[in-house]
Structures are given as structure tokens and as C-alpha cells.
Amino acid sequence: MSVASETQTSARDLRAKYLNGETTARDVALAHLQRIKEVEPRTHAFLTVLDEEDVVAQAQAADQRLENGTASALTGVPFLIKDNISTEGVRTTAASRILDGYIPPFDATVVSRLKEAGAIILGKGNLDEFAMGSSNENSAFTPVVNPWGENRVPGGSSGGAAAAVAAGEAVIALGSDTGGSIRQPASLCGVVGFKPTYGTVSRFGLIAFGSSLDQIGPIARTVADCADTVNTISGLDPLDSTSLDHKLDFAEYLGRDIDGMRIGVPREYIVDGIEPGVRAAFEKSLTVLEGLGAIVEETSLPLTDHALAVYYIIAPSEASANLSRFDGVKYGMSVDGEPNARESIEATRGSGFGAEVKRRILIGTYALSAGYYDAYYKKAQQVRTLIRREFHDAFQKFDVIATPTSPTVAFELGEKTQDPFQMYLSDVCTIPVNIAGLPGISVPCGLSEGLPVGLQILAPQLGDRTALQVAHAYEQSANWNLTPPEPCTD
């Protein structure tokens, strides 16, 4: 088997090849390490690549499990882990200078569960600093480049995760999604990204951005691989008080038809400024869903127009509280200041945090300050409740809701860096999902000007299997198997 065929495959296809004796986990792991060497000079999707000796040891253990019949669905599957998810003994920076050199003494729960399943961890993925961004240009180390174009962003904040899967550097990646940070980069890179219902997957070991919004989930080439991954990493975790005791078989509905299912299309998601090619691809995807027997109807979610403002009060406020722990005392970088500890903390944060992180800390601190709390943070939480109710009412009529994932395809590097508001608008279709704690999945639905477009499917809380069912039915019918044009190497 060629290196290309071993690095452009799904986890399910890879498992079949293992069981048929066509390849080994060791060969697949080495093929991915070679692929990383080839494309990383262009993509910069990884911040840390594990040593070959470590990766081969994991692969040999996987081969042993395959031989003795104790393998799981993810045994021998190469993974990238977003670098805001803790990995024992492996540098974890959240793409921030303030954590450069930090090596966690523990694994995040999701990493522990992947290791227990026999997955192969290849390394840590690049991201916007502390997951704050929509283009992966806010990384303190280097921007990620979309494998679909040498001057295009991959989306954010899980840009490294999406780019790595698209470029064949990993079969599956774990990302985090606070306002679209799994789904939006998946859309821009032509892969599948799934954000489960809030609380379905433990956040223990995730470096927190917005604790009431953050959710870990997979980026993969297929809907089925996303379902298998969440089956492995989900479930109650006593180390996370927000995790749900509600175990599902996320792959249970895959393959079921969607004949008679009702799909709502909210007009507010066809936003001003949506690119014509994106709109055309989205409308064609609705035609495919109708061809599968679904009943597609326009609907309205008026509070969508307020979601962006609500998010950019709640998320920075929570970030302001969460990032206060980075003071240069316990871990990470430390800058000596004169004449006292306060000066040292200010110097550390001034040097360690990037511009976007500082911007959001300032916004959040202001919103939480005396005299402004009721006007901003409390009001945003009240509107959040109304948004949740609006979604709840919509799902009394519809099984799922369909929207574009992003109003644009991958834009050029540097195009929006001087206009934060335009950058924030990149997440206008994904943010409401996090506000309401819903499951959402982005699946490729075509190309616009040669760049990928994503279809987003939303379901009610704990309706994850229904979202996966509809996305899988569309994926199998439309058969978009998007692979970036080579060469992807220097």
C-alpha cells in the first residue's frame, strides 16, 4: 500500500485493512510521520510531533491488540490532539507564549480514553491562542495554512486539527468548539467536524476558554468516524461536574433513511454578505436532502441576530475569569518585574498574552465590573435563555435545522486581521449552537471557486444521533470526497 493510500483513508476503512491483514498499525503510523515531514513546512498544522520511537511503540501495542482480538474501533488510528488539551509528558501550550514549555503531569480524560482504546497519538495541533480566533492566525508561534491554498486560512480555532486531517497528516483530530471552532475550520478545509451536546464529552484537561460554551469533539473525513470517536471519548466523568450521565451509541442511527424527516431552514442564517457560491452550494444540498425524502421548510429564528452580541459578552467574561490563573507563578513563563509581585504578574501577562487574548480579557473584565455587570453580562445571560427557548420551540416542529456552516469559503491570510468585527462574523452561523448547548455537525457540501463549503446540521439537546443520521445520509448521497489538490508539499 502506498503512503498516500495509508494517509488519505477513513478510520473504518483502516480498521478493515487491519483485520484483512493488508497493513499494520506500525506501517500506517510511519506513513503518517512521513506525510507530516512532507507537508508541515507548508501547513504548520502541528506544534509538537511526538518522537518516532514513541509513535512506533504505540503502534506496536495496537498491532498486538489487533492480533489478540482486543482491538476497538479506534485501535491503530492516528490522531492529532489540539494543543489546548492536556497530554501527560507532552508540551501543551494552547498556542500561547505564556504556556511555552509547559508539560502537563496528566492526560485530559478524552486523551486517556483514546489511549485506552489503542489510538495512536501523533502530536499536538496548532490553534488560535487559547482557542480565541476564527482563522488560526492568532497562534503565538505560526499561522496554519489551509492545504487547499497556499495563501488561505484554515479557519479557527481548531485550524491545525482541520488542516492536518485534510492534508492526510492524521486520520482523526480532537478539537474544541466554543463558538464554532470545530465546525467552521472543518467547513473551510473540506472535512467533517462534530460538536456534541454540551456535557456529553468531559472537559477535564481542556484549557478553559468559556466554560459554559467549550466542548471537545472530533474532526474527521467521515461522519461515521466522528460517531465512533465520540462513542469512545464520551460518558460521565467524575472529574468534570458538567459531564452528563447519559451514554449514547452515536453510531446507532447511521444508515437509517431520512424519509419524512422535517428539516427547518432559518432565513436568518442566510446572512448579509454570504458569498454567492456558498449560498448556491447550500441550496443544492437542500435539494439532495429533499431527494432523500426529507421535508425542507423555511422557518425563522429571530433571536439569531442577537447571538453574536451575546457570545461576545459571555465568552470574554468567562475567559477573563479562566485566564486569571496564568500569573507566572505556578506554571508557564515568568517575567521578573520591579518592585513587587504585582509588577511581575503584569509583566508576565503583558509579554505572554497575544493581542486578541488581551482584547477579549479586557472586554470580559469590563462586562463583569461593578456598575456594568447587570447591563452586560446579566442581560446577555437572559437573552441566552431566550435563544435556548427559541431553539426548543423550533425543534417541536422540526427534527433538525440546516444552515450554511460559514458564510464564506477560506479567506486569504491577513485579509481580516485588521478588522476584528469582520473576523467575528465568520462564526455567525455557528455561535448560536454553543449558546444553546446543542449538537451540530458540518459536512462538506461542495466547492465555491475551488474551495470547500460546509453544510451544518443542528439537532436538539441530546439529539446527537439524529444530527449524525442526517449528515451521514447526505454524505452518502452527495458523495463529496474532497481532497486538497497536490502538491501539498514544498
Q: In what order do the strands lie in the sheet with 120-125?
A: 46-49, 120-125, 78-82, 172-176, 216-220, 192-195, 440-448, 451-458, 400-404, 262-266, 295-299
Q: Is 82 a catalytic residue?
A: yes
CA 452 – CA 409 distance, rounded (Å):
6
**Pairwise CA distance, residues 426 & 111, whole Å:** 29
**Is-contact 206 485, C-beta < 8 A?**
no
| Residue 195: active-site member | no
Count how many Cα atoms sit within 13 Å of the Cα of residue 280 in the half-sphere of its side chain. Answer: 9
Q: Find the farthest-apart pair of alpha carbons in the chain and give their distance in angstroms, rounded.
A: 71
Confirm whether 351 is a catalytic residue.
no
* Catalytic residue selected from 86, 181, 406, 442: 181
What is the C-alpha to C-alpha distance for residues 457 and 313, in angstroms, rounded to an integer? 26
Residue (of 283, 222, 281) closest to 254 by Cα position: 222
- One of 157, 234, 285, 320 is an active-site residue; which one? 157
- Surface-to-core class of residue 397, CB atoms within 10 Å of its CB (0-12 exposed, 13-18 middle, 19+ buried): exposed
CA–CA dist 164, 146 (Å, integer): 9
Active site residue: 17, 82, 124, 416, which one?
A: 82
Element (H, E) at 452: strand 451-458
Q: Which residues are catalytic?
A: 82, 157, 181
